[in-house]
Amino acid sequence: MQQEKLVIQSAPHIHSSMTTQKIMFYVISALVPAAAAGVFYFGLRALMHLLISILLAVLTEAVVQKLMHQPITIRDGSAILTGLLIGMNLPVAAPLWIGGVGSVFAIALVKQAFGGLGHNFMNPALAARAMMLASWPSFMTNWTTPFDGLATATPLAILKAGIPNTTALPTYWDMFIGNIGGCIGETSALALLLGGVFLIYKEVIDYRIPLAYIGTVYIFGSIFGADGLNSGLFYLLAGGMMLGSIFMATDYVSSPATARGRWIYGIGCGLITMLIRLWGSYPEGVSFSILLMNIAAPLIERFTIPKKFGEVSKKNAK
C-alpha cells in the first residue's frame, strides 16, 4: 500500500499555478477600471473603439496562425490585451477604423511576424500606436473634453505651447481622476493606479519598473519642469505616464528579466520620456521612450546577469 503513494518524477518539482492565461486575465481585469473610466468620461464611442480594437486583434491572431499552419492561441488572452491597450491609446474622436488598422498591424507585423507571443522584440500595442501617430497625426491628436466632446488640448500640449498658457492647465484633482483631454484609457491616474496596485499585490508585475520610471520622471520633472507648477507631480499625472509605466513598460516579453536590469530599464524610460517632453518636438514621449528601451532590453540583460552561486569573478580568481 505504501508503495503506491510514492510518486517518482523528474525535476522540476515545484510548479507555479500562474499560467499565461491567468496572467493575461489579471492584467485585463486590472485595466478594466481605467477602461470604464474612459467610457464614463468619453461616452459609448469610447466603448466602440475598445471593442473594435479587441475584435480585430483576436481575429488577426487567428487568421495569421491559421495561414501559418500554427496552433491557434487566441484563448491565452494576449491578443485581447493588445487590442484593449490599442483601444485605450486612441483619442475618442479618432475615426472608428483606426484602432482596427492598429490592431492588425500590431498582431500581424509586430507580434506574429517575429514568432508570436514571447518573441516580439517590442510591445505590439505601442508599436501600433507609434505607427498610427506617424501615419495619421491629425486623427491621433484630435483631443476632446470629457462629457461634452469639445475640442481641447492635453495638459502636456498646453504646456508645450508656452508658459503664458499655463493658466489654462486643469487642476491636479481633475488630472488625477481623469477629467481632462487625452486618450481613452490614459486620463484617469486613479483608475490606473488601482489596477497597478492590484497587479503588484498579485505579483503579476514587478514593482521595480513602474517605481523606477515614476521616480525618475518625478525627480527630473521637479528639477527641469516649468516654474510655478508642482511640475514633478504634473508630469506624473499628465499624458500616458501611468498607463505606460504600469501596463506597457512592464510587458514581460519586451522588458529585461533581471532585477538590476529592471531598475536601469525603468530609469531609462523615465529619462527619455522627460527628454522628449521637455525638449523634443512631440508633447508626449511615453510610447517612444518605452519602445526605445524595449530595443535596449536584451543589451541591458546581457550586462546585468546575476552572479551564479559560487561563481568567482575573473579579477579575484588569481
Interface ranges with other proteins (CB under 8 A)? 95, 101, 109, 113, 131, 134-137, 139
Which CB sits closer to other proteins, 80 or 101? 101
The three-point CA angle 188-191-193 to 5° equals 105
Closest separation between CB of residue 104 and other proteins, Å? 12
Taking the complex as a whole, how short is the minimal distance between the CB of residue 88 and other proteins, in angstroms? 21
Q: What are phi and psi of 156, to 5 degrees?
A: -65, -40
Shortest distance (Å) from residue 184 CB to other proteins: 20
Smallest separation, CB 131 to other proteins (Å): 6
Residue 48 or 109 with smaller CB distance to other proteins: 109
Decide: residue 272, CB within 10 A, 0-12 exposed, 13-18 middle, 19+ buried.
Answer: buried
Which of 274, 291 has the CB closer to other proteins?
291
Partners of 91 in beta bridges: 183
**Measured from the CB atom, is 137 or 306 closer to other proteins?**
137
> What is the total residue count of the chain?
318
CB of 72 to other proteins, least distance (A): 18
Closest distance between other proteins and the C-beta of residue 130, in Å?
A: 9
Find where cell 508503495 sits. Answer: 3
User: What sign does the dihedral 260-297-25-246 (CA atoms) show?
Assistant: positive
Cβ nearer to other proteins, comparing 101 with 117: 101
The span from the CA of 141 to the CA of 152, in Å, is 10
Cα separation, 119 vs 135, in Å, equals 25
State the cell numbers at 118.
Answer: 514571447
Q: Which is nearer to other proteins, 94 or 243 (CB)?
A: 94
- CB–CB of 128/103 below 8 Å? yes
